[in-house]
Each structure stands twice: as C-alpha cells, then as structure tokens.
Structure 1
C-alpha cells in the first residue's frame, strides 16, 4: 500500500520520536484504564463506608494518575507532531528533488498545477494522518480492547450490552467511511482543476484583458470553484451526520447501563461504584472506537494523496542520467548535430528530420527558418531538455546522453525565448549562474548586454528589486538582463533562443558588436527571426519544415539558397 510505504519511511527517518510516541501513548492508555477502578473503590470503600482516609488516599492516587496522564498525552502529541512535521518536510523535499530531475515533457505530463497540489495539499493530508495516528493509533485500540476486558472483569452480566453497542457503532462508522472514499478522490481531482484554472488566468492575465475575456474566465473559475464546493459540501454533510449519530449511541448506551445496572444494584448483585466504573469503561470503549473511526475517515483522503505523491516519486524521468556519465569534455565549446530526428510525444510527424551541422569552438552559428520549423527544438536538444528520437547531439565532444548533467549544464549559458527573472534583486538574478561573481563582473556583463544604462538609472542600482518573473521591468530590459545573466556565467557555449526579438535595431546592433569583442572564444548558437541579427554569423543553418535546406555564410546562401533568399527578400526587400 502506497500510504503505508510513505508512513513507514517517515518512521524509519524519525524512529526515536516514534518509539517515544508509542511509550507515552501506552502510558496514557494504561492510566486511563486504571482510573475507573480506583473511582469505584472510592465510592464503594470510601463514600458508602464513610472512610475518609480511604477517600483521601485513593483520591490522591487518582490525582497523580490524572497528572501523569496529562503529561504523557502532551509528550505524545509533542513527539508525534515532530514526527509528522519531519515526514512532511522529507516528502516535500523528495517531491521537489524528483520534479527537478524531470524533463519538460515529464512536467507537462503531470501538469504544473497538479505538481504544486501534490507537494502541498497531498503532503498535508499524509502529514495530518501521521499526526493523528501518533495521537490516537496506540491509545484508541488499547482503550477499546482494554476497556472491554476491564468491563467484563467488573461485571460479566452487564457487559452483554457491549456486544450490542460496539458493533452498532462500528456499523454506523463503516457506512459513513465507505461513502467518504469516492468523494475524497473526487475532491483532490477538483482541487487540481481549480489550481490549474487559477494558474492559467494569472499567467495569461494580459491575454485575458487584451481579448476582454474577464467574464468568460470568471465563469470558468466559478465552475471549477463550484466543483470543489460541491465535493466539500458532500463531505461536510457526512461529517454532520457522524457526530449526532455517535452522541445518540453514547447517550443511549449510558441510559441502558444505568437502567440495567440500577436493577442489579437493587438486587444486591452489583455495587454502585462498580456500575459507575462499568459506565466509564463503556465510554472509553466507545471513545476508542470513535477515535479509530475518525482516524479511518482520514485514511481515504490521505491514501489518495499518497497515491498521487507516489506517482511522482516513482515516475522515471524520460531524460535519464547515464550510469556511465562523463564529467569531462575533451572538445570544449564544440556542438555537433549528426542526423538528428525528433518527434514530440503523440505527434504524427517528426518536428526535426535528419538535421546535421557543426559549431566549432569560438564560432557563431545561426539558425533561421519559418515559424514551426523546429528552431527552438534544436536549442532544447543542446542542454538535453529532450532526448533525440534518433541520431546524436554532441557537446564538448561527448554525446549529451552520456554526459554528466551538471557538467553539461555548466558548459552552456542559455537565454530562453521567454526570459524569466526570479524574485530578488538585479544582482541576485545575475549571480544565478555564478554565485561568487564580483560587482565588476556584473557590470561588465551588463555593459555587454546593453543593460548598464538603465540599471545605473535605478536608485539602488544592482540592488534594485525584481518581482517574480521580472514583471516590474519592460520586455526589452528583461531580455537584456537574461543575456547579462548568461554572460556572467562565462560558459564555453552561449545559446540565444530568439533572444534579441524585444530589442530595437540600434540596441541589437550594439549588442552583437559587443558580443564579438567581449566574448571571444565562446561558441554562440543563435536562433533568430531577423536576418540582420545573423548576417555576420560564421555559419547559418536554414530550416524548413524540420529539415536543413541550407548551410553556409550569409553571402553563400544568398547566392545559392532559394529559401534563404525568400526570407531575406521578405525582411529586407533585397533584389537578388
């Protein structure tokens, strides 16, 4: 059972806390079972006999036991909470570590919203079960079983009531729990859905407003919100039934014990104190059953969460690390695509077919083509965000499938098509690839990226705050900061995925000129839409429908490649 595996893993991690919880829970339960007997002795031997000394002596024992019970219960909850919080912390860390190893394909398979829910809500359900289990798991069975034994020992005839009352309680709780299980499964799915809708609306807020679709999005969110509300109301309705039914059984049991017990007292076959002790034992039995049932109610939802957590933990990344990964790169800065074909999962045709080209160290190799030609896919294959369907991609003289991931990523500075900045400061974002970079190195990278002027214009300079995603700077500024971040890293390979699209022609020209002089010896792989960006490239790869239809310099392609001439004509109105 997935839930049991997660719980046992948590116990193994904090075995000392678990042992202490068991000891204190058993101590509390034993003291609870002893108290009714002492109470009966006080009534029968003290109160009814008028023996004050016995009352004081036994009353003192009860007081000490009650105090011990309180202390044991508090310590059990304390160590139980420590065990549960540790379990939650470790689960979240394991999920994060696993998700961090996922490729983009794996993340999309689960969905970002679902992964967030699994690492928060689902972990919380398991964590709460561990906490409640530590509080009730030991004491509930001991109170129920021990209460039955002590009740029979107190009066065998009166204990016949137990065989009617306890099965009735178990039956009622069983029916309710069986109804809760499918609702909990539905609830978790609907929580996933509302997180997905919320994330889409926040991420695409500009598109929503640009197309005046606020009303449509509110309706979509309301539908998801109503789904969660409906599932929670159904859960609440069952919980509403639970406690009145339990109290009805408890009160009816008390009346039955007093009714039949009073007759036995009147006959002289039962003492008053023994009857009161039996009543207390019955309440302990019912309380134990109720606690166990309450814990059972939590198991279905925690089991659903555990299943979803285990799905993530047991998912094998589609981009797996080789067991013989090579950390070395005998040819730093060299990129080779050899007959590469790539097909996205579920796609009918490959997005890349037979792509071959080489980028030598220090060269600038540009990739150009129409929308959907596969330019960004090539960029994603270099740092091995995906694995090729066939062929090989070699970086630094090593097949990326055989390369050590950290060594591979350390050799590449990637500026994605949609640059992302993290919440913090300009300096913290620039140091993302090199934590020990000096301020001078940051300013040098900013100068090359043509971002130094607007950073200096800010009141706090490098310490100016950056909002999550870089939403407090313009698109062009965000793009230049992303370029500067890659430059600070000083890797042997720089990959620009249409990274100059938000720059005006003047800034673009200055940036390219600065790269030529400031980043000498670095291989640059440039995906571009504008021909003016790649005119000076050492080699240009022309893509059309996933195939390489041209390879050469700007002048060579103008003279020999029709596809490239069409692109140039459409952008620069050049007559060849």
Structure 2
C-alpha cells in the first residue's frame, strides 16, 4: 500500500525532499532562541548591559526571521507536494478504471469509486502534507528540546522525560481506541454517496411515487451512521487536551518549585529556568502534535488501502504478446462455450463460484448474416453477445471472429470492428454531433447525417431548433427513450463495424420505425453481420436465422419458418404475441 501511494509522488519528489529540510531549519532556529533568551536575562538584564541586550536581541530577531522564512517555504513546498500527490493518485485511479474489464467493474460500486476519488484522496493528501511537515518537525523539535534541557540541567530535564513517557503511553491508548472507529467510518461514505447518487439519478421516479420522505429517511440514516462513528472517535480524542494540560501544568509547577530552590542555592540561573520553561512547552506540544499526526495517519491509512485497491487492480482481460491488428470479416463461431461470472470453471463446477450462465454453446454465424436472438428474461442473451467483443472472457471453449480466437486480437481493434449498442442506452453531455462522434471522432457532419437516416433519427433531429447542434443533457434526459435508442444505434453505425450487435436496442421504438431500421440495415450495410436481441418476434422474424435461448442454452437455431415448425418455445411465443401481445415471460397456456 505505502509503495503504491508513494509511487505516485513522481515529479513532486523534489518538493517532498525540500519540505522536511525547511522544517528542520525552522526547528533549529526555534531551539536557539531560548538559549539566547537565557543569555539576555543572565548577561544583559541582571548585569545591566544594554549593549549586550541589543546585540543578542538582534540575533534573536534574525533567527526568528530565518525560522519564519523556512516555515513558509516548508508550507509552500509541502502544499505543492501533497496536492501533486493527490492529482497523480486521481489520475492513476481514473486511468486504471478506464482499463477495467466488466468483471473488474463488477467488483466496485460506483459510489465506492466516487468516494475513493474524492474523500479518500483528500484524506491521504492532508495526511501526506502533515507527514512532510509536522511528522518531521515534531519529533526533531521534541528530541532537540530534550537534549537542550539536559544540557542546561539534567535533574530538572528528567521531569520532562517522565512526563513524556507517561503522556506518550496515555496517548497510545487513546489512539488505539480511536483507530478502530476511524477504520469503519470511510466505508460508510460509500453508503452515503450511493444514497445521493440513486436519489438524484432516479429523481423523476421518486417524485412520481411521492417517495421523498422515504429517500430523506434513507439519507438521514446513512448520514447518521457517519455522525455516530465520528462522534465516538472524537469523544475518545477529547482526552488528548486535558491530559496534555495536566502534563504541561504539572511540569511547569515541578520545574518552578525545584528551579526556585536551585536559583536560591545558585545551582541554576534565572535565564536557564526561563529556557527550561520554553523547552517544556516545546517538548509537550511536540508530543501533542505527534499524537494528532498518528490520528491523521490512522484515518488516512484506511483511505490509502482503498485507493491502492483500485490502482493495483489488474484488468482480467489483456492483449496477447503479439496481437492481431486486423479483423478479416464478420464470421462468428462459438465452440462448446461455457461462461460464468465466477473466476474459473473448476470453481463453478465444484460449487465454489456462481452457476454457469451459458452452457455448451456451439454456433456458426456467417459474415453479413442478420441473426435474431430471442428468449425470456434471464436466458443469457446479453451474456452471449458480450463474449463476442470480449467484454468478458469465456470460462471454457472458444469464441472466434473472422476465424480467429477473440483472445488473439488487439482488444481496441476488435471492439472497433464489433460495435455494440448496449441494453442500457447512455448519452453524454454535449451536442448530438459530439455524441455521434463517439463512434468516429473524425466523422464529418455528412457521415453523421447518413447514419442517422439509417437509424431513423434524422427526422426528429431536424425538428429540433438547433438540429444536430442540439445540446443533450446528462444521461440524455431531454430526449425520449426511443430517440435515445436511435441516436445510440447511429453512433454505433458510425464505426463502420464488421459486426453490429443490438442488445434489445429498439424496445422503445414503435414497430413501424423498427421495421424501417431493419430494412435500412439490409440495404445499407449488407456485409455487416447483425445480431439483434429482441423480445418481440416481429423484430427478428425477418432475420436470416434466429437463435432461441432458454436457461443459458441454445434451445434452437433456424429460420422463422423452421422454428415455427419444430420449436415449441418459439411457436408458443409467436402465437401469444400475434394473438394477444404476450412475450417470453408469459408463454402460451399449453406449455
């Protein structure tokens, strides 16, 4: 974890080294001032030598100025190093998240990743700055003050040593108790962010069902959990102040009492007693500072672990050593494919992982074919097509595109040639043209218009006042479900793929528009292999062949007419839909 975090310091190593040097210089200046102050009292005030007072005072002022300058430089470079580390950590996390496979993404919640990119990194940033400045300053200040005190008078200085040991033991117990709560706090932020994210993204549903009070209660509960944990931790930390005050005032009383006796017996000078008093405050305040540093480091340790988890997470998918850079055509072959969302086939078969989602799938699809995929909810239609663009890897068997195992391709090239319109249609903030150019960033406006005509999106875009420059709100909230689907289809077509996969991507489109889209595909992109997942038989019955999925297996594969003759599942659904609007989740009564 430490190696991972410090590995992101990178170009801020210089600032990270200068900061502690500046803090050491500041401590040296501070430690010399009490000695000069003692000299002024003993050799200037008591002797009545104003010339000595002026000279020594000038030196003290010079030391104070140098100490202030060193402190300011330490603050400047410390801030630069800590904010630079935070920037690099955010960049490293975000870059690694972009490389995640779907399997990696499944391990982390969206709210959890947001918390790690914000709250956790802020904790590490604050902790790093404190380590560079206070963690260097406090122990050096304490040790130096202790040495100085022993040089002045070992008997009186031993009072500090006893106080430091006793106070250090008490602070250790306090921190150990508080650490437990701080480690539990930050995962609670995930729940809080999840509550906010879910509420804001689904605000229309919340208002439609008048569930504002329920959402308020859920947020209050998540916020209350954080409040309770912080309260418990802070109640323990409140013991720091009284213990520190007892130690400080106890030392002052003991030194004043014993010091006065020594002054009377000429074993100690007044100036030396003043210096010891100053060093007393330096020693005990340094210890107090150290206790707060340990608390901060403890808080940030949990955050650092969570950050390191994301940075160190390796994608479950990777390119081969010499990847193939060109997909020859859109042929697709499944050879005895099993797939599970668990780690391995052995885990699945031994009952240690999840169940097999796809079981012994063998298919051969020719380039340019239009293939319909139909089946009930949970029959693994989406899981089947996700393997083609290698969003997941097969658990067993082999998936080939263009006669080559998908694992042998460069993933970027493969995904450029296998265009997927996912079940959840997502548009990004920006104009319609900017959203379309996710398919091809160099596409001309004419090319964008051409694919929009194919996807039957051109008509409604032209009705907008700003046409193709119309601004799309976050998530596409200012366009309808059907319009969003057609824009996503157009975006996928702009990639000019060899394989086009529509994962239930016309569910919000009316039947007539759906038919026009399919006709445009047949005439405009005849050489592209098209896989169309649908719930409506009418959406796939014109396909060259249709795959009927049932419980993770291929129940049948053939043309519409062939399936009507031999597939009871397909026939029942066709009859129920054409007769009464049924679907795969509501089969015919004779089944």
Using the size of structure 2 for normalisation, the TM-score is 0.92
Measure the CA separation in 1 of the matches of 2:502 and 2:353.
Answer: 26
Q: By how many angstroms is 1:200 displaced? A: 3.2
Q: Which deviates more from structure 2 when the two are superposed, residues 38-47 or residues 93-102? A: 93-102
Q: Is the 8 A contact 1:6 1:306 kept in 2?
A: no
Q: Is the 8 A contact 1:424 1:467 kept in 2?
A: yes
Q: 1:42 to 1:11 in 2, by over 3 A?
A: farther
Measure the CA separation in 1 of the matches of 2:293 and 2:354.
Answer: 49
Q: Which deviates more from structure 2 when the two are superposed, residues 153-162 or residues 92-101? A: 92-101
Instruction: Give secondary structure in 2 for the equivalent of 1:180.
Output: helix
Q: 1:320 aligns with which of 317, 322, 328?
A: 317
Matches within 5 A, 1:408-427: 408-427=414-433
Q: Which residue pairs with 2:521 in the alignment?
A: 515
Instruction: Give secondary structure in 2 for the equivalent of 1:521.
Output: coil
Instruction: Give secondary structure in 1 for the equivalent of 2:304.
Output: helix
Matched pairs, number: 572
Q: Is the 8 A contact 2:327 2:414 kept in 1?
A: no
Q: By how many angstroms is 1:331 displaced? A: 2.5
Q: Which residue pairs with 1:267 in the alignment?
A: 265
Do structure 1's residue 542 and structure 2's residue 548 form an aligned pair? yes
Q: 1:122 aligns with which of 120, 123, 126?
A: 120
Q: By how many angstroms is 1:13 displaced? A: 4.7
Measure the CA separation in 1 of the matches of 2:216 and 2:238.
Answer: 31
Q: Which residue pairs with 1:142 in the alignment?
A: 140
Q: By how many angstroms is 1:122 displaced? A: 1.8
Q: 1:401 aligns with which of 387, 401, 407?
A: 407
Do structure 1's residue 239 and structure 2's residue 237 form an aligned pair? yes
Q: Which residue pairs with 2:346 in the alignment?
A: none
Q: Which residue pairs with 1:340 in the alignment?
A: 337
Q: Which residue pairs with 2:173 in the alignment?
A: 175
Matches within 5 A, 1:43-442: 43-209=41-207, 212-317=210-315, 319-345=316-342, 349-442=355-448
Instruction: Give secondary structure in 2 for the equivalent of 1:413.
Output: strand
Instruction: Give secondary structure in 1 for the equivalent of 2:424.
Output: coil
Q: Is the 8 A contact 2:145 2:282 kept in 1?
A: yes
Measure the CA separation in 1 of the matches of 2:9 and 2:378.
Answer: 52
Q: By how many angstroms is 1:69 displaced? A: 0.8
- Render the CA deviation track for 1:400-428: whole Å, top value 9, x for unaligned: 22322211211122111110111222222
Q: By how many angstroms is 1:156 displaced? A: 2.0
- Render the CA deviation track for 1:298-333: whole Å, top value 9, x for unaligned: 12111111222223333343x331442523235232
Measure the CA separation in 1 of the matches of 2:203 and 2:322.
Answer: 42
Measure the CA separation in 2 of the matches of 1:479 and 1:188.
Answer: 38
Q: Is the 8 A contact 1:329 1:397 kept in 2?
A: no
Measure the CA separation in 2 of the matches of 1:347 and 1:542.
Answer: 27
Q: Which residue pairs with 1:498 in the alignment?
A: 504
Q: Is the 8 A contact 1:383 1:408 kept in 2?
A: yes
Instruction: Give secondary structure in 2 for the equivalent of 1:391.
Output: strand
Instruction: Give secondary structure in 2 for the equivalent of 1:331.
Output: coil
Q: Is the 8 A contact 1:321 1:402 kept in 2?
A: no
Q: 1:480 to 1:330 in 2, by over 3 A?
A: closer
- Render the CA deviation track for 1:95-154: whole Å, top value 9, x for unaligned: 223322333233222322222222222222222111111111221111011111111111
Q: 1:478 aligns with which of 484, 502, 514?
A: 484
Q: 1:464 to 1:257 in 2, by over 3 A?
A: farther
Gaps of 5+ in 1: none
Measure the CA separation in 1 of the matches of 2:327 and 2:70.
Answer: 64
Do structure 1's residue 526 and structure 2's residue 524 form an aligned pair? no
Instruction: Give secondary structure in 1 for the equivalent of 2:330.
Output: coil
Q: Which deviates more from structure 2 when the two are superposed, residues 543-552 or residues 99-108? A: 99-108
Q: Is the 8 A contact 2:332 2:402 kept in 1?
A: yes
Measure the CA separation in 2 of the matches of 1:451 and 1:337.
Answer: 34
RMSD (Å), alpha carbons: 2.2
- Render the CA deviation track for 1:239-274: whole Å, top value 9, x for unaligned: 333223323322332233223222222222211111
Q: By how many angstroms is 1:284 displaced? A: 1.2
Q: By how many angstroms is 1:554 displaced? A: 2.0
Instruction: Give secondary structure in 2 for the equivalent of 1:417.
Output: coil
Q: 1:373 to 1:38 in 2, by over 3 A?
A: same
Using the size of structure 1 for normalisation, the TM-score is 0.94
- Render the CA deviation track for 1:192-244: whole Å, top value 9, x for unaligned: 22223333333444554555544444333332221111001112223333223
Q: 1:176 to 1:299 in 2, by over 3 A?
A: same
Q: Is the 8 A contact 1:367 1:542 kept in 2?
A: yes
Q: Is the 8 A contact 1:10 1:83 kept in 2?
A: no
Q: By how many angstroms is 1:369 displaced? A: 1.5
Do structure 1's residue 554 and structure 2's residue 551 form an aligned pair? no
Instruction: Give secondary structure in 1 for the equivalent of 2:143.
Output: helix
Q: Which deviates more from structure 2 when the two are superposed, residues 38-47 or residues 175-184? A: 38-47
Do structure 1's residue 449 and structure 2's residue 455 form an aligned pair? yes
Q: Is the 8 A contact 1:366 1:525 kept in 2?
A: yes
